[in-house]
A and B are shown apart, each in its own frame.
Chain A
Amino acid sequence: DTAVSQTPKYLVTQMGNDKSIKCEQNLGHDTMYWYKQDSKKFLKIMFSYNNKELIINETVPNRFSPKSPDKAHLNLHINSLELGDSAVYFCASSDTQLAGGPADEQYFGPGTRLTVT
């Protein structure tokens, strides 16, 4: 059973297009995340949702809009794609993290390699 799944695995598109990446987790977790891994393998958090509510929003262009229809899904929509958006995008999930509490393990999806030409 796949714990955290993402679709598509590869996405090649042209500049200016709008695209979406989907993420689903079947672990019963309350918190989900989007990370961006650049060409140098550097991983940086973009967003985090807890029970469908946005709790972390790093400095990300507003062309990126996450949507969480329910706590098992967190999708990422990107408008007006730019060359610099090319990266691997990872979804992750974890149990509810209480403020000031320990961080439970985050389970990562397989990643979506986005190439903007």
Chain B
Amino acid sequence: AQSVSQHNHHVILSEAASLELGCNYSYGGTVNLFWYVQYPGQHLQLLLKYFSGDPLVKGIKGFEAEFIKSKFSFNLRKPSVQWSDTAEYFCAVKYVGGAQKLVFGQGTRLTINP
């Protein structure tokens, strides 16, 4: 079955720390990859996406992610986090050629202490 796994359920960091959130997906051929963010009380917003080409993609607010095909991974990174990055982060995968749907990971709650 198609599935997405986010290893970290809750991550707590101090401001200015570096961030890496893990995301792995089950094998299923060609994929499109996404990271969404949900700030407290708000709807999901797209941080970045990967379709093809350079496996290192840059998104909004200083976030980036690297697609490593051999590891079925799409980890999210930010070199220096801010208090305003406190939110829930979701990795999502679309399996190209399959049903037109996103499969989401279970989310990682990020808490940044000032």
A: residues with CB less than 8 A from B are 4, 31, 33, 40-45, 48, 50, 55-56, 58, 90, 92, 97, 99-103, 105-106, 108-111
**Cα distance, A4 to B43, chains bound together (Å):** 10
Number of A-B contacts (CB under 8 A): 60
Q: Which of B43, B102, B107 contacts A109 (CB 8 A)?
A: B43
Interface size on B, residues (CB 8 A): 25
3 closest A-B pairs (Cβ-Cβ)?
A: A103-B94, A43-B104, A108-B44
**Cα distance, A41 to B106, chains bound together (Å):** 7
Contacts of A105 in B (CB 8 A): 34, 46, 49
B: residues with CB less than 8 A from A are 32, 34, 36, 42-46, 49, 51-52, 88, 90, 94, 96-97, 99-104, 106-107, 109
**Cα distance, A44 to B102, chains bound together (Å):** 8
**18 additional A-B residue pairs with CB within 8 Å, beyond A44-B104, A105-B34:** A33-B101, A41-B106, A41-B107, A43-B44, A43-B90, A45-B101, A56-B100, A92-B44, A99-B97, A101-B96, A103-B32, A105-B46, A105-B49, A106-B46, A108-B36, A110-B42, A110-B43, A111-B43
B51–A43 touching, CB < 8 Å: no
Least distance between A97 CB and chain B CB atoms (Å): 4
Contacts of A42 in B (CB 8 A): 104, 106-107
Closest to A40 in B: B106
B32–A102 touching, CB < 8 Å: yes
